[in-house]
Structure 1
Amino acid sequence: MLLDPTRSQHLLLRTLREWNQAQTDLWLFAYGSLIWRPDFEPAERRPARVAGFHRCLKMRSRTNRGTPAEPGLVLALVSGGSCRGLAYRVPRDQGAELLARLWLREMPNGVYEPRWLACSTPAGQVRALAFTLPRSSPSWTGELTDSELLHILRHARGRYGTTLDYVERTVAGLQAVGIRDHELERILRLARHHGL
């Protein structure tokens, strides 16, 4: 899989087709920066859980939180386990415009694999769009040692800032909505312990 803006546009068109077939409001599953910086006002917000995927800081970021020469890290939704987050509802008449804006932010290089996932919420199940990452992606890091993590946290910076800032904001954003991510919290403690 190549990092390719053409692929990104193809995935946007596919996603719009799949959503339009459902003839419903647009639901999005937020598990990382969309929790603390959605850049839009949803019509409804619900606590949500997806089964079969988990949140992890194992995706290289060559644009938003790093560069091709010094890649950073961002979260990905990867198969296995489960993940707590938020489900956002966007009115149908605003959905296409919002997806186009969201694609510029989340999919500049077509890295994520957008998927429609079943989200359990207190008010029932919804079908929500989520940005997932296959382990076959060139942006998947696999396991990283603490020394590799520390190098990235010290050096990686992209158009939206540093990887360290991203981790700090995500931990705070998750905690603000009652979600604890023990691995992200461990990474933040590791950074603090090393003076970052």
Structure 2
Amino acid sequence: MSDDEEYWVFGYGSLMWRPGFDFVERSSATLHGRRRAFCIYSVHHRGTYERPGLVLGLAPGGAVRGAAYRIAPQAWPEVYAYLLEREQPTETYVEARRAIRLADGRRVESLVFLSDTGHPQWAGALSLERQAELITGAVGLSGPNEDYLRDLVAHLREEGVGDRAMEALLAKVEGGPKTGRALSPG
């Protein structure tokens, strides 16, 4: 690792508002070829094996606006270890390097955690109704799944990111019936 190497991390969910690591630069950024989606069954952070919830992933297709963080080279090993622990408790993501475009037009290579479509926790393209059912009432080690969705939408709004799919899902969750019944992942 040399001091002139650049290390970037791309966040599209909670990393946008709660990175949990030191950085030297933060910028809005866009990743093409992937989209933000509740496409991963959560049995750790926002659900359990008995009552799975859903968490965000980068599903194939589209584009997603998020936040990019430049990490100091000397801090990279610690930040990278932290990210592996945070993002990979059940190994539902594939670590990748992808080109992202920063708000000022620069293109940089960034660490990105893509959804593993072959993982058993991959939920794929669920209907809005099914997503709302899974999110409503699910609770994991990091708290209620509904809070995660609310935090996401609030922070996207603060960042000026219009995400109609997340807005529609929040409206469905907040307007839907509250149930405590167990739901199977499928």
Q: Pairwise mapping of residues 12-161 of structure 1 onto structure 2 (< 5 A)?
A: 20=1, 24-121=5-102, 122-161=104-143
In 2, distance between residues paired with 1:57 and 1:146? 10
The CA RMSD measured in Å over matched residues stands at: 1.9
- 2:164 is matched with which residue? 182
The number of residues matched between the two structures is: 177
Quickly say closer, same or farther: Cα 1:107–1:115, change in 2 above 3 A: same
Quickly say closer, same or farther: Cα 1:35–1:132, change in 2 above 3 A: same
CA contact under 8 A between 2:12 and 2:64: conserved in structure 1? Answer: yes
- 2:153 is matched with which residue? 171
C-alpha deviation, 1:138, in angstroms: 1.4
Q: Percent identity?
A: 33
Structure 1 consecutive aligned stretches of length 4 or more whose deviation exceeds 6 Å:
none
Counterpart amino acid of residue 16 in structure 2: I
CA contact under 8 A between 1:42 and 1:90: conserved in structure 2? Answer: yes
- 1:124-171 per-residue CA deviation (whole Å, 9 max, x = no partner) reads 111000110132221111232344333322221111011111100011
In 1, distance between residues paired with 2:67 and 2:132? 29
CA contact under 8 A between 2:43 and 2:52: conserved in structure 1? Answer: yes
In 2, distance between residues paired with 1:46 and 1:89? 9
In 2, distance between residues paired with 1:113 and 1:23? 26
TM-score, length of structure 1 as denominator length: 0.84
In 2, distance between residues paired with 1:140 and 1:117? 21
User: 138-147 vs 78-87, which deviates more?
Assistant: 138-147
- 2:183 is matched with which residue? none
In 2, distance between residues paired with 1:164 and 1:110? 23
- 1:44-83 per-residue CA deviation (whole Å, 9 max, x = no partner) reads 0111111111111111111011111111111101221111
SS at match of 1:64: coil
- 1:7 is matched with which residue? none
In 1, distance between residues paired with 2:67 and 2:126? 27
The structure where helix makes up a greater share of residues is 1
SS at match of 1:52: strand
TM-score, length of structure 2 as denominator length: 0.88
In 2, distance between residues paired with 1:161 and 1:45? 27
